[in-house]
Structure 1
């Protein structure tokens, strides 16, 4: 049997090591300055401007690093596409491509991986986003001494961990990937980010995540103490090792996992690290941070909170629903008041994640299917929006909304792409996020009409912040500072084109994603409701 998942994890990890092992070739300061000057003269920092040549070997080294990164990311995507073609959709609710090897036998730790339909779609989403992020960052670090060598190595290292965290079927292995992801993201923000506050933003991100991780570690240890194993398949179900867990203990262990996932998601009130981190990030970093890493939190709620502690879920349903509603409205209201595009998109994501957690804890097949589908579609839509904002920042050298006006007059293609990605963010019918949001509303209404009605406020506010941002930046008289903007280049079209295609295709025909996701979501609902019913009967 081909170890598909191990190959997919190993490929980007090997690429990251290879990049770090390449000889360091520094670009002389004077020539880096010339490169920056050439960029500035090309129209407000245009990403496609002609750059001055660097030192002999310097440019070649930087270009080789980019090509290696792109090559390994595309190879990883091809491996996962090959694996997907062999995925049995008729059995999408069960784990497939399972690998299990003893890792630390004395403590019952295994290297165990496998995917169901939800994990598969999230892994594929991650693998699609990574090469696009590499292309988007192709010229971002040309003014650095190392040409962005470290940044591209960190991208590949992070990709390996993202695949690993979604594929892990050993609770301890999941925790290792969950915590290890913090390291590359910390440096991607703190060292390669934007603005003077990037170090502070990176530290805040790290501290919040570490705090949640430490709480989760206590719960992971508790799972082993009471279950005798870390293997997810042996822990879940009516005959699983945690089936006879004391209700009080189950609730505390549930909280240990949930708090860590709520911070990662992020949910109100543990969300404050995200706007600052996204605002200080390069657009590509923000794509991976919000588009993929935050999904680990909501995925963890589905995979671990729901299925490991089904008896405890019923106790926390309404508190989590309330927090989700606050996140939806709070994130949307704060987005309206933002003057920075990166922070605005970050706040919209807090609102979107509120819809996802609301769908998860409504405990209906439609809501959980919609929530899982929302994770994937949000990754594509918000990833595209961050990338388009990044193209604007590269041209203007600023992310402030007030620094743009009339971009549509000089770069109509760029403005058109910005409009489509914005409309996807507000879940316009015909675009991928719409069906996700619709399923969440249907499932939540079946659970209880009141939360569904309150959540509609978030939909209304989404139209306000998206259309307001588009109007302020793209329409009106052309500001002098944007008059020299160029339209989309060939490379930039390859950055946003695939995501636009996916947003439209899955908006018109979401069935392939639903075929993979729905059986796994229904399994989660059945496990939760059946176990809760059995507990009620026993009482």
Structure 2
């Protein structure tokens, strides 16, 4: 009944845009607190309406829901079509939740260009919501690339160190060049099919050779975003230089755009090409898991440790997606959602240490359990969640991915399990170095445990991780029918 009176999807899309237009008229220097409160209000309302989408979502259906179509350019047959299924629903929820969290994380920072900072996050939220609900390939590409603009500014202007400009340009150029190939593919598809509507293209057959070519072009765009090795060079630098909220949204949502792209476009549009390139993806994924884990072990910057570990975790995601079975695909979705929460929590923990001590170099820390016990309790929980400890959300995702891989090859499972062991090694090593041993008073002489605001953020993240780990069917019910639809497109369409 709720949706009869207004469309919650349309309101969820429009709220950040309305917030942007109103926030432009604020005076940055004299209305700092009002700007923060207003930004938090807009992002909270956006998250609230995204929850209404979940409440009004019918899980037992194969169709897209909240569908709306608006004519944009009649001559070129380009329409603005929006709608969500069980897969896009939770990525949209993840985006609105983490943007809201980023506003809270940024309550004490930044110290300059405050209005512009929050404008960037509102625009980022608007683009991310569009990415996960738009049903036109060309419009998806436009919003997919528009995300780069606010993220480029967040890293380049409000980054923490002198190399922030280089990191911002590296992030922007790598991802832009990779996506250029996807644009070529989209234009070619439009030239031969006369439409960029996703639902129409799902029932359009491409020849085997054409599928191979188009799959490669789309792959280059998505692989840079995940990022897969060897397209990962931009990620550690971007994380190291970004402010804490920038790292949270980068790891929490932006790294998921590539995986979502594979699920939404590559698998249903080019099923034979997915089967053909399966061995290549498995090779890249296993290299990412093992190489990413080994590289993590030799890092000394706390942010780079989490950044390289993200490469390894996303290797599990691509293994699950291209296992091409229900268990693997559902596991990869759960793992992406889980990684979005856990990596955000870990980057927030590192941000707390950096705010207090202006350093992220590992050797300067030690024995913090003596002076920051609450912080270490949360850090320990998030660390064990990051290594997929039973009862946490990542455990469900990795288990389903491994079950999916076991239906293909136990050799793949064996190599993936090496990554599980390595992830435990670097995570526990990091926790031990930061938490235990002698308190390093030579470099730091004042310590402060977490504040009420920081406690509230960590507590909320902990509850979500436990909730998904103990009761994953909360998410799996909605995902299941959409995954079955994807599976039908993949194998039964032809």
Same fold (TM over 0.5): yes
CA distance in 1, matches of 2:254, 2:76: 28
Aligned-residue offset at 1:68: 1.0
> What's the CA shift string for 1:177-219, capped at 9, x where partnerless?
0011000000000111111111000001110111012111001
CA distance in 1, matches of 2:211, 2:192: 10
Match of 2:463 among 501, 504, 524: 501
Q: Do 1:17 and 1:153's aligned partners in 2 also have CA atoms closer than 8 Å?
A: no
**Is residue 140 of structure 2 the alignment partner of residue 165 of structure 1?**
no
Aligned-residue offset at 1:104: 1.7
Q: Do 2:248 and 2:343's aligned partners in 1 also have CA atoms closer than 8 Å?
A: yes
**Is residue 167 of structure 2 the alignment partner of residue 201 of structure 1?**
yes
The SS at the match of 1:112 is strand
Matches within 5 A, 1:351-366: 351-366=312-327
**Is residue 426 of structure 2 the alignment partner of residue 465 of structure 1?**
yes
Aligned partner of 2:18 in structure 1 is 14
Matches within 5 A, 1:65-80: 65-80=35-50
The SS at the match of 2:66 is strand
Aligned partner of 1:138 in structure 2 is 107
> What's the CA shift string for 1:435-457, capped at 9, x where partnerless?
00000000011122111110111
Match of 1:403 among 364, 370, 382: 364
Matches within 5 A, 1:222-233: 222-233=188-199
Count of matched residue pairs: 489
Aligned partner of 2:448 in structure 1 is 486
Q: Do 1:133 and 1:495's aligned partners in 2 also have CA atoms closer than 8 Å?
A: no
CA distance in 2, matches of 1:391, 1:323: 34
Q: Do 1:364 and 1:447's aligned partners in 2 also have CA atoms closer than 8 Å?
A: no
Q: Do 2:26 and 2:115's aligned partners in 1 also have CA atoms closer than 8 Å?
A: no
Q: Do 1:122 and 1:376's aligned partners in 2 also have CA atoms closer than 8 Å?
A: yes
Matches within 5 A, 1:53-202: 58=30, 61-91=31-61, 93-142=62-111, 144=112, 146=113, 148-202=114-168
CA distance in 1, matches of 2:412, 2:20: 45
Q: Do 1:407 and 1:474's aligned partners in 2 also have CA atoms closer than 8 Å?
A: yes
Matches within 5 A, 1:195-274: 195-236=161-202, 240=203, 242-243=204-205, 245-274=206-235
Matches within 5 A, 1:382-531: 382-480=343-441, 481-531=443-493
> What's the CA shift string for 1:398-451, capped at 9, x where partnerless?
111112111110010001111111111111111111000000000011122111
Aligned-residue offset at 1:526: 2.6
> What's the CA shift string for 1:298-344, capped at 9, x where partnerless?
00001100011112211111111111111111111111111001111
CA distance in 2, matches of 1:273, 1:103: 35
The SS at the match of 1:476 is coil
CA distance in 2, matches of 1:77, 1:130: 9
Q: Do 1:118 and 1:372's aligned partners in 2 also have CA atoms closer than 8 Å?
A: yes
Unaligned runs of 5+ in 2: none
Aligned-residue offset at 1:7: 1.4
Q: Do 2:164 and 2:241's aligned partners in 1 also have CA atoms closer than 8 Å?
A: yes
Match of 1:371 among 332, 336, 341: 332
> What's the CA shift string for 1:215-255, capped at 9, x where partnerless?
1100111221222211111110xxx2x22x22111211111
Unaligned runs of 5+ in 1: 26-57, 535-539
Aligned-residue offset at 1:76: 0.1
CA distance in 2, matches of 1:494, 1:162: 25
Aligned-residue offset at 1:530: 2.6
Aligned-residue offset at 1:351: 0.4
Aligned-residue offset at 1:17: 2.8
**TM superposition outliers: structure 1 runs of 4+ over 3 Å:** none
CA distance in 2, matches of 1:176, 1:21: 27
Aligned partner of 2:27 in structure 1 is 23
Q: Do 1:373 and 1:517's aligned partners in 2 also have CA atoms closer than 8 Å?
A: no
Give 1 or 2 for the bigger CA radius of gyration.
Answer: 1
CA distance in 2, matches of 1:277, 1:426: 23
CA distance in 2, matches of 1:89, 1:18: 36
Aligned-residue offset at 1:482: 4.3
Q: Do 1:198 and 1:281's aligned partners in 2 also have CA atoms closer than 8 Å?
A: yes
Q: Do 1:287 and 1:382's aligned partners in 2 also have CA atoms closer than 8 Å?
A: yes
The SS at the match of 2:70 is strand
CA distance in 2, matches of 1:72, 1:276: 31
Aligned partner of 1:43 in structure 2 is none
The SS at the match of 1:430 is coil
> What's the CA shift string for 1:149-204, capped at 9, x where partnerless?
21111011101111110111111110110011000000000111111111000001
CA distance in 1, matches of 2:75, 2:48: 37
CA distance in 2, matches of 1:283, 1:141: 10
Aligned-residue offset at 1:459: 0.5
